[in-house]
A and B are shown apart, each in its own frame.
Chain A
């Protein structure tokens, strides 16, 4: 009897354990609830400011303290450039959002996810919306920003969280939804982005270029993610920089044929085999890559088995160059957002952003 009742209990316990997994299926409710959280924040902001335009800045994100300061300054610059707009800042990286909001770092760092924040901007019915990508090249990350805005215009949300379709139709009709392109968008014609950024970088680095070699380290997309073939912007930028000085070189961490070895090869071919070398980061902020892959010093950054983890600093120092990493006033390497002339290129992209054509499709096509 005892055995029988025990087996019965064991079977019941096992069954309840299987079914209790179900209580974790709270994804849809959580998504709806998070729309609510974002909607409230934006509604309050709109009510306070009374403004009717919104600018949404989309960065990948970071967990580095110096990057947070760069993001804050960027937001402030946008607020000055767009006095009639509420400016919102978001991260597309979940991990960065999670960690930034939970970390006790002076002040609370609540960043939001673009899809939720854009929903909230729609729910608050701003009459004009700018979405600005803070990416450097129109690559894979930018593709996600585009997809996010298109989803918004198509009301691609869970049914109970749908936006007012008439409002979206009106945005489309009044051509009031804009998508600001990444930094290195255009490369042809007068005043194109590549030339303009080259000019700004040269302004910053011309003294260094006079004393030695200047190498910029970008991120780049690995080959199989280079869906927009945007990696080419790095070589276009190098060409533009070389108009100012033959001492400029551009490479990346992830794009094939532009690794540090390739940059070194290019330097050797140009006869620059020694002397001063200045390293700069060609990313919107100076985070992990800038500090480790570019500026990392010491044994941990040299002579790794594959060589892939060797920092640019150690690699070039061991290859005959006197390597320097120029620091900004915060005693850190500088990201592109921290260079006023370059930030202005982004701001001009927002100001001159094109209306996002053909993004809206009514949810009720039969009507």
Chain B
């Protein structure tokens, strides 16, 4: 695993603890962040503006998924949950430009460029750090929109800890989490299981198809799905300053599509979608200069992400036969039937990564962070690539120096060198400066990004049948790498009760890669007949192309106000504008296109109240509001503006000193029952099903060494209250 998972989370003491029965007091120490520089920093002293969703916020919000959490607690993100993935956007840029890390390690596998956020167990998150723009040299220059680093909960080294959490909501929304942690001698084992299921829902039965509005289709707004994951991590600490680990995980997800469709033109599906994800990794960390905490880490990991069609009715697939068993039909394009229960591989993505990283504390208040990275991506897709498979190799080296020049001025500079087998060598610089004046901070940043076309963007080609639309998507071997320049400026005040931050940014992308409409002639002639679509040959061809340029700019404002000890008010607002130009070769002119899903205004606000009434009962109330102005799309209409209200109450029974503790969450999502009933296939502002009641029950058991009431490391200014 990456560097981050080795940073002892015990350093991060942001959770409330009880101190005896009559001394109840919420103490929240300064938040520590790690994403921007790889070294732990107090949030207020992080040289790069970092947004944090704290454990406290997560606990009081009681989110059902990463999407629920991020969209509810920040304003910069937009989601459009689809079958293929999360369709997440950060400041106007999609999944492809957002690097999602779990403990510093990038998650793997995508379908149509969308990551599956179901891979992340919401119950296993300690906090989420968000750094916008390609500001960090550490994680790859392809994070042009930003980095989301999900820091998982730190587990005890000794004793036995068990955790069960079951969440249930309307539409059969079930979330199950189990954790087992055992520490024996120098070895610790942690096993995590999670399951997510919903029956899905239908906001409207209306659908525009067959040239008219059909009133009774069975197309769902969100389809039924089930996914589960089991993960195991073993750590071995032969010495205090040395740690080795090995971990692995297995995940599977099935998306069930309507099998009782009514109209062959738009709501009939003959297969479900199935995904499998597996990982194995090992590595170690050595703190070789205990006093200065110089660190060396080494990680090697392997990941697999498979995507299948799983058939529910006899389905002909037009395939090129390949194998001696076909006799004289070998190499012929043929309609091969698949029967219910059978599955058919669409893509198998594998990745091998090796990383070596080090942190040296140098004289004159310099901290040098350097590393080497090797990444090999492999795509096996017999039905979706010309040659059956393709691969890509990228190596990178980086150095980053944090220089606390004078007390009130920090400058962090980084260089990342990327070597790609197909696209050569590129160096991307990153510079951040921070001025500190008491509780005020001013941060300025500039960074360059560089992103080579992915294997899928180059080689993948497939037919996408969605409702009544039939689209043939094609890779493009003539793509150029994308580059970006990101500028940001922010001002921040972090006082005892009030925190305010204002950030402005401008992100300019050159050669941005997008899937754009192209003439149907571009479809390879050998597969054209099979892909003519719905009977009269209506198929839209789309190809990955470089846009001339794209720009996103905007501002974020975050305010937090502690009204009194138990009540805090938070508000976030994000303004965004975008502009993208595509060269139109047919008409020999530039044409301005919308970056799909862009909304000018997004916000989230919450009132959080927590109070410990007795030594064994604590109440939490979280009232949340979030919303968005109209979302713009190139095709199929714009998404309506919306705002949603949500209430969650938490009830903690017991305290940290007890062997068994219980927690109950009861809540209502979308209190005022706002439902976007725009007919299919037009865009919705939100896919919320309307008012949804949910409850969550958690029980925790621990035996063996007691948790320390406080495991803190003395960091600068750690006596201030902060959320």
Interface size on B, residues (CB 8 A): 81
A window 75-127: CB within 8 A of B:
91-105, 109, 113, 115-116
Q: Give the docked Cα–Cα distance between A24 and B454 (Å).
A: 27
Cβ distance A161 to chain B, nearest Cβ, rounded Å:
9
Closest to B682 in A: A300
Q: Is A25 an interface residue (CB 8 A)?
A: yes
How far does the Cβ of B446 sit from chain A's closest Cβ, in whole Å?
34
Contact with A along B244-285 (1 / 0, CB 8 A): 101010100000000111111111111000001010101000
Interface-lining segment among A182-190, A191-199, A218-226, A351-359: A218-226
Question: Quick one: closest B residue to A61, CB to CB?
Answer: B535
Q: State A95–B313 Cα separation when bound (angstroms).
A: 12
Please measure, in the bound complex, the distance between the C-alpha atom of A24 and the C-alpha atom of B308, giving whole angstroms: 10
The answer to whether B668 has its CB under 8 Å from any CB of chain A is no
A109–B234 CA distance with the chains assembled, in angstroms: 56
Across the interface, do A94 and B529 meet the contact criterion of CB distance under 8 Å? no
The reply on B20 being an interface residue by CB < 8 A is no
Question: Are B334 and A96 closer than 8 Å at their CB atoms?
Answer: no
Min C-beta distance of B265 to chain A, whole Å: 4
Assess whether A95 is in contact with B534, with CB atoms less than 8 Å apart.
Answer: yes
Closest B residue to A29 by beta carbon equals B325
- B534's contact among A27, A105, A288, by CB below 8 Å, is which? A288
Of A13-21, A164-172, A266-274, which stretch is located at the interface? A13-21
CB contact list, A295-321 vs B, under 8 A: 295-296, 305-306
In the complex, the answer to whether B337 meets A6 with C-beta atoms within 8 Å is no
- B583 CB, nearest partner CB in chain A, Å: 13
B317 contact from A33, A94, A224, Cβ within 8 A: A94
Least distance between B272 CB and chain A CB atoms (Å):
13
Does A67 lie at the interface of the complex (its beta carbon under 8 Å from any beta carbon of B)?
yes
- Mark the stretch among A42-50, A151-159, A205-213, A237-245 that contacts chain B: A151-159
- Knowing A94-B530, A141-B529, A224-B521 touch, does A17 contact B276 (C-beta < 8 A)? yes
* Contact status of A27 and B211, CB under 8 A, knowing A14-B278, A63-B534, A101-B314: no
- A94 x B535 contact (CB < 8 A): no
User: In the bound complex, do residue B262 and residue A104 qualify as a contact, i.e. CB atoms below 8 Å apart?
Assistant: yes
Q: Is the CB of B316 within 8 A of A94?
A: yes
Complex CA–CA separation, A17 to B325 (angstroms): 24
Q: Is the CB of B348 within 8 A of A98?
A: no
State whether the Cβ of B345 lies closer than 8 Å to any Cβ in chain A.
yes
Whether A305 and B538, one on each chain, are in contact in the complex, defined by CB atoms closer than 8 angstroms, is: no
**B566 CB to nearest A CB, Å:** 45
Chain B residues near A115 (CB, 8 Å)?
334-335
- On whether the beta carbons of B535 and A17 are closer than 8 Å, the reply is no
CA distance A2 to B314 in the complex (A): 46
Residues 515 to 561 of chain B near chain A (Cβ within 8 Å): 517, 519-521, 525, 528-530, 532-538
Contact assessment for A292 and B211 in the assembled complex, using a CB-CB cutoff below 8 Å: yes
Known: A3-B244, A6-B248, A30-B339. Contact between A93 and B532, CB under 8 A? yes
Q: Could you tell me if A104 and B276 are in contact, using CB atoms closer than 8 angstroms?
A: no
Residues of chain B with a CB closer than 8 A to A65's CB: 210, 263, 265
CB contact between A104 and one of B260, B306, B335 (< 8 Å): that residue: B260
Q: How far is the CA of A156 from the CA of B327 in the complex (A)?
A: 9
Looking at the assembled complex, report how far the CB atom of A45 sits from the nearest CB atom of chain B, in whole angstroms: 19
A23 to B317, alpha carbons, bound, how many Å? 17
Beyond A63-B266, A96-B534, 13 additional pairs, beta carbon < 8 A:
A2-B234, A10-B248, A93-B534, A94-B318, A94-B335, A99-B261, A101-B314, A103-B262, A158-B326, A158-B329, A219-B537, A287-B534, A306-B586
**What are 9 residue pairs bridging A and B, where the CB atoms are less than 8 Å apart in the complex?**
A7-B246, A30-B336, A63-B468, A64-B264, A94-B318, A95-B465, A98-B316, A99-B261, A289-B537
User: Chain B: residues with CB nearer than 8 A to chain A?
Assistant: 187, 189, 210-212, 232, 234, 236, 244, 246, 248, 250, 259-270, 276, 278, 280, 282, 302, 304, 306, 308, 312-319, 321, 323, 325-329, 334-339, 342-345, 348, 465, 468, 470, 517, 519-521, 525, 528-530, 532-538, 584, 586, 591, 593, 634
